[in-house]
């Protein structure tokens, strides 16, 4: 009989180093040590004498800061700020240099195959020692004039790591927000199916271009507030505040 799979979201750092995380199981939430794993890996763990299968989902990298405020109705709200957009890395555009072992005394693009050979000595032949010296010198010395200053990646090209789309009303999130009135860093919060076992929160309202958590106080149904800020080169390019309700045991 095959074991049911339980999806588990990890940050890139947790996936790379391994971590002890809280896993929601049918019998209740349990802390399990996860070894280093990659996205979509299947990890087998043993809990209370039974085996469970955890399907690893690696979320975007980023840090988040959360805080809660005392609402008029006595609810605790949590804020998290995330910086997850990184600029592109410049790649070395210098072409590879031929080694001395690949030097040849005959260049098919220079020699004329129809020209008469007027000399018994090949004027293109180099002494082996001279060829090695020239090749070594070529590798050690780079001519800045040959480098194309424009042949670099566009730092504003975010096709491979673009800022994610904002969550719509009704979107469900996983992870765990701290039950605290003090600002805290949080991670591992990502969109999941509302039917997933790790769906802990649901978006009921969104405010764009702001990080003011008090905006959610106007919505009496708010149980948590969650904010993401996406930056590029230190400048905020997108900012959203989400008013959330808890699902299942996370409801207040």
**19: in domain:** yes
Residue 172 to residue 198: CA distance in whole angstroms: 9
- Cα-based angle 59, 64, 65 (whole degrees, multiple of 5): 160
Domain edge (last residue) among 41, 58, 75: 58
Domain total in the chain = 2
Which residues form the domain of 210?
A: 60-87+158-252
Choose from 15-29, 75-89, 111-125 the range with maximum mean pLDDT: 15-29
What's the pLDDT at 88? 36
For the question of whether the overall pTM of this predicted structure is more than 0.75, the answer is no
3-state secondary structure of 208: strand
Question: pLDDT per residue over 192-219, tens digit each?
Answer: 999 999 999 999 999 988 878 888 889 9
Same domain for 65 and 53?
no
Decide if pLDDT at 79 tops 80. no
Interval 23-54: pLDDT, tens: 877 777 888 888 999 998 988 888 877 888 88
Residue 100 maps to a domain:
no
Task: Judge whether 105 lies within some domain.
Answer: no
User: Residue 50 maps to which CATH number?
Assistant: 2.60.260.20
Which residue, 199, 197, 216, 202, is CA-closest to 171? 202
């Amino acid at each position: 009989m095959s074991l049911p799979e339980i999806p588990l979201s990890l940050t890139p750092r947790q996936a790379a180093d391994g971590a002890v995380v809280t896993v929601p199981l049918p019998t209740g939430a349990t802390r399990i040590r996860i070894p280093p794993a990659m996205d979509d890996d299947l990890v087998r763990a043993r809990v209370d004498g039974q085996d469970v299968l955890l399907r690893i989902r690696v979320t975007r990298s980023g840090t988040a800061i959360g805080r809660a405020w005392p609402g008029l109705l006595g609810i605790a709200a949590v804020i998290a700020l995330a910086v997850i957009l990184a600029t592109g890395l410049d790649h070395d555009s210098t072409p590879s240099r031929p080694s001395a072992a690949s030097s040849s005394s005959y260049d098919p693009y220079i020699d004329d195959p129809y020209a008469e050979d007027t000399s018994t000595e090949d004027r293109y032949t180099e002494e082996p020692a001279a060829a090695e010296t020239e090749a070594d010198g070529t590798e050690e010395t780079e001519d800045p004039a040959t480098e194309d200053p424009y042949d670099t990646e566009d730092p504003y090209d975010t096709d491979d790591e673009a800022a994610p789309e904002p969550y719509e009303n009704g979107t469900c999130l996983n992870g765990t927000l701290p039950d605290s009135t003090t600002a805290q860093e949080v991670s591992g919060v990502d969109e999941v199916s509302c039917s997933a076992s790790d769906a802990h929160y649901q978006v009921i309202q969104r405010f764009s271009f702001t990080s003011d958590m008090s905006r959610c106080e106007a919505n009496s149904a708010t149980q948590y507030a969650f904010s993401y800020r996406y930056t590029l080169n230190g400048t905020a390019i997108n900012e959203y505040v989400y008013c959330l309700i808890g699902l299942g045991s996370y409801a207040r």
